[in-house]
Structure 1
Amino acid sequence: MFEKVLVANRGEIAVRVMRACEELGIGTVAIYSEADKDAGHVRYADEAYNVGPARAAESYLDQEAIIEAAIRADADAIHPGYGFLAENAEFAARVEATEDITWVGPSSESMEQLGEKTKARSVMEAADVPIVPGTTEPVTDPEEIHEFGEEHGYPVAIKAEGGGGGRGIKIVNEPDEAEEQLESAKREGEAYFSNDSVYLERFLDNARHIEIQILADKHSNVRHLGERDCSLQRRRQKLIEEGPSPALTDDLREQISEAARRGAATADYYNAGTFEFIVEDTNRNDDGLLGEDTDYYFLEVNTRIQVEHTVTEQLTDIDIVKWQIRIAAGEELTVAQDDIQLEGHAMEFRINAENAANDFAPATGGTLDVYDPPGGIGVRVDDAQRQDDALVTDYDSMIAKLITFGEDRTECIARGKRALADYDIQGFPTIIPFHRLMLTDETFLEGRHNTKYLDEGLDPERIDAAQERWGPEIVNTENGDDEDVVEREFTVEVNGKRFEVNLEERGAPPLPTNGSNQHNPRPSSSSSGGTKRGGSSGNSSGSVTTEGEQITAEMQGTILSVNVDEGDEVDAGDVLCVLEAMKMENDIVASHSGTVVEIPIQESQSVDMGDPLIVID
């Protein structure tokens, strides 16, 4: 078994992996960016190393810096978590090629074969697994989309080869949209996965999203751990996941599960992975369920642990992360397929720092003035934050996961209602009010929702009412009373390795620190401190030098493209630039006609809310 594992990730998943390591008697190493120097995963680890600035491309995606940190820490394995480099076959190969360090995941060859969607489709065809009609070669020309649409009909889905988590997917509803959506999908693929290759699929308009958890070892043992239903999505971003699916008969779930196991075996896959399927929700039986004659299609393989792996762990009592580590160390699975049974019902609620009543806009800053997670029987919380922590807005908006478990779906939902009501987060909005609404929603309670329900079937006014009823009051506590005794925590780095120094101030004014490193005063009984920051990575745009109307950033994000040049004439509604924020592309448009007189930004630059983007005269 390994002696020390570096977790190449952040937030709750980094802590989740470290907890598994701790139970196995393995030391842990964290990496962190400048924005995360006070983060929970850094506090939890045995040791931590700074790998770069806030911008992910210069820190959490810096392969060389991460491997160098592992070597310096004398780690003998790297676990990637999910997101960032978790499905990057090149990074896996670099780790595999590094002496005395083991990659905790599938082989780089399997990741390349199954991680790129067109190759995965070919493998599934060979394994006799149904696939959605689509292309098996990358698409580069809008005319290819036109031809595909004429043959299979619209809408057409354009998908990034390396995509996942709803990113790199664009829907073409009519031929005129093909060129714009193709460029957008390629741009997202390059930005998120360093791969602008895309392919096409027939877009299934009325479907459920079902995924099968796989565990396989290096001794040709392949097991499936049942299914999860991830149909409650907004813009292809999952919000609530559950298992077993409330829509499938036992016969259909067994068909899909065996198809996934067959596909994994054909691909010589090992470690944890998720095989995702689309199930057509068209012909339900007299019990309101989808039976064995229902059409289902392979969607993709996620060659990593999933956000919603917790659902399967609750149903099977199998620690998937521990088995990832054991398999990487060469151990053989000790459980037979027939011994794996799904008991009860589980749901996972993603606790995102977003305002559901404001089109799920991510919070742009704030501090956890109150953080009081729920407990009790049948309740699990995976998180990394603690009270007084600052919200880091440079990355994903998910701050925690709430998982509830019951003897059946009814009890699971009842525990979900209780736990969500008990979950007290103050300082910025979260989607807890939205989750509480869904547990009263008739369509969801009956299990009749599909992947388009939130985007097309749910009345937005109900979300507004839920936010008003259950949302927190945002109170500014910036100028609180001075404390007689204040403990301050300082970070010292020696050769890039993090050390913490604690200092008590008694009856003295706060010690000055410089810029973004200033900590808020906190009582000496507090276990952690937060840094006040608005999410800037230090690369935000500067002041403008010309007169005119400034088009400013409505949220913190990264400039993906600049569509105009100085001197261009623009009309109201023209797209000036594209801003990526919290996995979403946002078109920044001209509010009126005029001439572009200044562009104080450039592609790949990070900007803060309120920063000037374009000046129009």
Structure 2
Amino acid sequence: MIKKLLIANRGEIACRIIRTAREMGVATVAVYSDADAKALHVRQADEAVHIGPSPAAESYLVGEKIIAAAKETGAEAIHPGYGFLSENADFARAVIDAGLIWVGPKPESIEAMGLKDAAKERMIAAGVPVTPGYLGEDQSVERLKKEADAIGYPVLIKAVAGGGGKGMRKVDAPENFEADLESCRREAKASFSNDEVLLEKWITSPRHIEVQVFGDSHGNVVHLFERDCSLQRRHQKVIEEAPAPGMDEATREEICAAAVRAAKAVDYEGAGTIEFIADASEGLRADRIFFMEMNTRLQVEHPVTEEITGVDLVEWQLRVASGEPIPLKQEELSINGHAIEARLYAEDPAKGFLPSTGRLEHFDLGDEGRIETSVEEGSDISPFYDPMIAKLIVHAVDRNTAISDLANVCAGVEVYPVRSNASFLVNLLEMDEFGSAQLDTGLIAAKGDALLHSEPSAAVEMAAASWRIEEFEAKDWDRDILPKANGVFGFRLNAEPALARVAMHLNGEVRHLSVAATGDDDRFAVEVDGRQDFSEVTHLPTTHGDVADDQPDGEILIFERGAAHVVSFARERGTGAASAADGAILSPMPGKVIAVDVSDGQAVKAGDRLMVLEAMKMEHALTAPFDGTVTQLAASEGGQVQVEAVLCVVEPDE
């Protein structure tokens, strides 16, 4: 068995690996960049080695530094986690050549599945069904456009070296093809150093079904059943579950058998995932499920498989890498209950899911379910890496119970001032379509803004009022001046003299709050902006949210359904940073300018792309708000910009 393990990764997956290694008695070595010097994974590991500046290209993606760190600390093996170098065959080979154990598949297996076009050809030979499309070597724009026209729109462009939703574009019409191809290639080049693409027919009712497989060096391959990852946004998985709802035993047997054939076709060792796209227009049917790709690593969503099988996949990885056989035979594996995982991201759904960075001044994920995270209160969310804050996982006896339990976990999330998608997750889990398993990968996009609603309810106003009443009792009511009603200092609604009123600022908007005493010492009636439809309140209605009253400047936070609402009684609050004059193009986030499409004095039309920013591995195009002329161009390709920096101005036409 491996005695000392270096983890070539960061974040929650590094913490996850450390946990299992500790339980197995395996010593761990963490690596970290400047941005992660105080990170949780660094503190949890037995040792830690600094490997460079904050950008991943100068630290976590530099294989030589990681191998040197393993040699320096006497680590016997390297676990790559997921992302970064986990599917880099050259790095795996370098690790092995350095005399270290690679906790993952053989480099040849990674290479065989690393390029999607070659992988599809291999799967065809192995009798695994694949999606119709174009896998040719001719990568000219003209040939790709011709093939796309022949396949028929909508068509999907995919980076052959892609993964994690990067380097993918759905093209709905021929006139959009070249622009989408350019964007896809640029993102693929930046993420994978390879801008080659393939084309696939876009399936109109698609479900993303994947099968967890595991192989060892003794020729054994097993599957650990399937997961459904159909709830996606921009090809990024948001909620995953196991087993797949609506999967009958016959279909499960066929798809899992196909996954095992796929793994055996590349002599696979370790943990891997065979991903399929299913045409679910008539439910899940084996003859309408097609191979997409293989991920030659542990997946982000592996906990749901662990929960339904009782298997620790990281333990299996370490045992198999040490030369042991797979601990269980296929017939010893079974499904127990239902598990669902939600990905909690540092992003603002109300602002187009732009990444949100900064310090977690208030952070509480509760203690229900299984929580995989690498941050804590006081941690910084940096712009250099993936914006995932945590994975929230529940396991229950059936799917309906699991949905309800996970919705409650997400509703209890408290994150501030960094924005999160917690309320968005609650809305997803409470969708009728999700509950009835009417799933496809386009469902989130189809629902649109309906899923973004996180406005405070009346309960939030009541909670704020209740908190203010306590403050009134303690210090604000002048008991020598205010008359006493029913034995309590204060006013009764609609009584003389005038009501006790105060301006309540809720998320920057002014609400006029009136409070009066009622029939006993602990109850008050509340009126907000003239609405008297609130019941009498007794302090905070905790079933609707929790108040964090430790905020500066007289602010309190009220959390409801995962959303943070800021309340202040002390001063007027604006609605955010000052807006620029009409036509000023502001950076919506800190990031890097990766493309500038205009020059000073250039005429533009409404909707024309002006430039592209990159932050947290995502591209964000900025466009002209109206017809006009570009002036005051302050951005240049390769430059770093801060949030709300003026990048240029579009002067409107007369």
Q: CA deviation at 1:557?
A: 2.3
CA–CA distance in structure 2, aligned partners of residues 607 and 46 of structure 1: 37
| The one of 389, 408, 412 aligned to 1:399 | 389
CA–CA distance in structure 2, aligned partners of residues 127 and 472 of structure 1: 56
Indicate if the aligned counterparts of 2:87 and 2:110 stay in contact, CA closer than 8 A.
yes
Structure 2 equivalent of residue 186 of structure 1: 185
Indicate if the aligned counterparts of 2:601 and 2:629 stay in contact, CA closer than 8 A.
no
Structure 1 equivalent of residue 441 of structure 2: 451
Indicate if the aligned counterparts of 2:145 and 2:178 stay in contact, CA closer than 8 A.
no
2:320 is equivalent to residue 320 of structure 1: no
| Matches for 1:148-159 after TM superposition, within 5 Å | 148-159=147-158
Distance 1:474 1:455, change over 3 A: farther
Paired positions, count: 540
CA–CA distance in structure 1, aligned partners of residues 618 and 264 of structure 2: 35
| The one of 614, 629, 635 aligned to 1:580 | 614
Structure 1 equivalent of residue 474 of structure 2: none
Larger radius of gyration, structure 1 or 2? 2
| Matches for 1:22-171 after TM superposition, within 5 Å | 22-98=22-98, 100-138=99-137, 140-171=139-170
CA–CA distance in structure 2, aligned partners of residues 473 and 360 of structure 1: 25
SS at match of 1:163: strand
Structure 2 equivalent of residue 563 of structure 1: 597
Higher relative contact order (CA 8 A, sep 6+): 1
Q: CA deviation at 1:388?
A: 2.1
Q: CA deviation at 1:394?
A: 2.1
2:348 is equivalent to residue 355 of structure 1: yes
The one-letter amino acid paired with 1:176 is: E
Indicate if the aligned counterparts of 2:410 and 2:425 stay in contact, CA closer than 8 A.
yes
Structure 1 equivalent of residue 428 of structure 2: 438
Residues 538-562 of structure 1, C-alpha deviation per residue, up to 9 Å, x if partnerless? xxxxxxxxxx986432112233223
Indicate if the aligned counterparts of 1:55 and 1:606 stay in contact, CA closer than 8 A.
no
Q: CA deviation at 1:227?
A: 0.2
Structure 2 equivalent of residue 305 of structure 1: 298
CA–CA distance in structure 2, aligned partners of residues 116 and 472 of structure 1: 49
- Let me know the Cα RMSD of the aligned residues: 2.6
Structure 2 equivalent of residue 545 of structure 1: none
Q: What TM-score do the two structures reach when normalised by structure 1?
A: 0.82
Indicate if the aligned counterparts of 2:308 and 2:338 stay in contact, CA closer than 8 A.
yes
The one-letter amino acid paired with 2:192 is: F
| The one of 284, 296, 304 aligned to 2:289 | 296
The one-letter amino acid paired with 1:11 is: G
Structure 1 equivalent of residue 196 of structure 2: 197
Residues 591-617 of structure 1, C-alpha deviation per residue, up to 9 Å, x if partnerless? 4532556454333x4433134544667
Indicate if the aligned counterparts of 2:360 and 2:376 stay in contact, CA closer than 8 A.
no
CA–CA distance in structure 2, aligned partners of residues 467 and 210 of structure 1: 36
Residues 414-467 of structure 1, C-alpha deviation per residue, up to 9 Å, x if partnerless? 3223323343333322222122222321110000121100001x2513421467
SS at match of 1:140: coil
CA–CA distance in structure 1, aligned partners of residues 610 and 138 of structure 2: 26
Indicate if the aligned counterparts of 1:215 and 1:224 stay in contact, CA closer than 8 A.
yes
Indicate if the aligned counterparts of 1:371 and 1:426 stay in contact, CA closer than 8 A.
no
SS at match of 2:38: coil
2:419 is equivalent to residue 429 of structure 1: yes
SS at match of 2:372: strand
Uncovered stretches (5+) of structure 1, i.e. residues with no partner: 285-289, 482-547
CA–CA distance in structure 2, aligned partners of residues 141 and 455 of structure 1: 31
The one-letter amino acid paired with 1:434 is: F
Q: CA deviation at 1:264?
A: 0.5
CA–CA distance in structure 2, aligned partners of residues 90 and 560 of structure 1: 27
Indicate if the aligned counterparts of 1:279 and 1:296 stay in contact, CA closer than 8 A.
yes
147-156 vs 124-133, greater mean Cα deviation: 147-156
553-562 vs 111-120, greater mean Cα deviation: 553-562
Indicate if the aligned counterparts of 2:316 and 2:327 stay in contact, CA closer than 8 A.
no
CA–CA distance in structure 1, aligned partners of residues 182 and 451 of structure 2: 35
Distance 1:480 1:330, change over 3 A: farther
Structure 2 equivalent of residue 593 of structure 1: 628
CA–CA distance in structure 1, aligned partners of residues 548 and 168 of structure 2: 34
SS at match of 1:404: strand
Indicate if the aligned counterparts of 1:127 and 1:263 stay in contact, CA closer than 8 A.
yes
Indicate if the aligned counterparts of 2:148 and 2:199 stay in contact, CA closer than 8 A.
no
CA–CA distance in structure 2, aligned partners of residues 202 and 162 of structure 1: 18
Structure 1 equivalent of residue 6 of structure 2: 6
Q: CA deviation at 1:275?
A: 0.3
Q: What TM-score do the two structures reach when normalised by structure 2?
A: 0.78
The one-letter amino acid paired with 1:111 is: I
Residues 320-346 of structure 1, C-alpha deviation per residue, up to 9 Å, x if partnerless? 111111111111113111111011100
Distance 1:131 1:476, change over 3 A: farther
Indicate if the aligned counterparts of 1:566 and 1:597 stay in contact, CA closer than 8 A.
yes
CA–CA distance in structure 2, aligned partners of residues 65 and 405 of structure 1: 39
2:214 is equivalent to residue 225 of structure 1: no
Indicate if the aligned counterparts of 1:374 and 1:422 stay in contact, CA closer than 8 A.
no
242-251 vs 468-477, greater mean Cα deviation: 468-477
Residues 360-389 of structure 1, C-alpha deviation per residue, up to 9 Å, x if partnerless? 2221323242324322xxx21111112222
Uncovered stretches (5+) of structure 2, i.e. residues with no partner: 461-543, 556-581
Distance 1:421 1:427, change over 3 A: same
CA–CA distance in structure 1, aligned partners of residues 337 and 357 of structure 2: 38
201-210 vs 48-57, greater mean Cα deviation: 48-57
The one-letter amino acid paired with 2:147 is: F
Distance 1:594 1:236, change over 3 A: same
Q: CA deviation at 1:160?
A: 0.7
CA–CA distance in structure 1, aligned partners of residues 647 and 67 of structure 2: 36
Indicate if the aligned counterparts of 2:381 and 2:387 stay in contact, CA closer than 8 A.
no
CA–CA distance in structure 1, aligned partners of residues 642 and 546 of structure 2: 24
CA–CA distance in structure 2, aligned partners of residues 550 and 282 of structure 1: 46
Structure 1 equivalent of residue 527 of structure 2: none
CA–CA distance in structure 2, aligned partners of residues 388 and 160 of structure 1: 38
2:323 is equivalent to residue 330 of structure 1: yes
CA–CA distance in structure 1, aligned partners of residues 9 and 383 of structure 2: 15
Residues 548-591 of structure 1, C-alpha deviation per residue, up to 9 Å, x if partnerless? 98643211223322323556554443322211223332112244
Residues 34-92 of structure 1, C-alpha deviation per residue, up to 9 Å, x if partnerless? 11111111111112122222212112212222222222222211111111111122222
Indicate if the aligned counterparts of 2:357 and 2:380 stay in contact, CA closer than 8 A.
no
The one-letter amino acid paired with 1:306 is: Q
CA–CA distance in structure 2, aligned partners of residues 586 and 473 of structure 1: 35
Distance 1:588 1:329, change over 3 A: same
330-339 vs 274-283, greater mean Cα deviation: 330-339
Distance 1:480 1:305, change over 3 A: farther
Structure 1 equivalent of residue 211 of structure 2: 212
| Matches for 1:441-520 after TM superposition, within 5 Å | 441-456=431-446, 458-465=447-454, 477=551
Q: CA deviation at 1:139?
A: 5.0
CA–CA distance in structure 2, aligned partners of residues 473 and 141 of structure 1: 58
| Matches for 1:527-566 after TM superposition, within 5 Å | 551-565=585-599
CA–CA distance in structure 2, aligned partners of residues 59 and 467 of structure 1: 42
The one-letter amino acid paired with 1:460 is: D
SS at match of 1:464: coil
Structure 1 equivalent of residue 262 of structure 2: 263
Distance 1:412 1:555, change over 3 A: same
Q: CA deviation at 1:311?
A: 0.4
Distance 1:250 1:393, change over 3 A: same
Indicate if the aligned counterparts of 2:354 and 2:588 stay in contact, CA closer than 8 A.
no
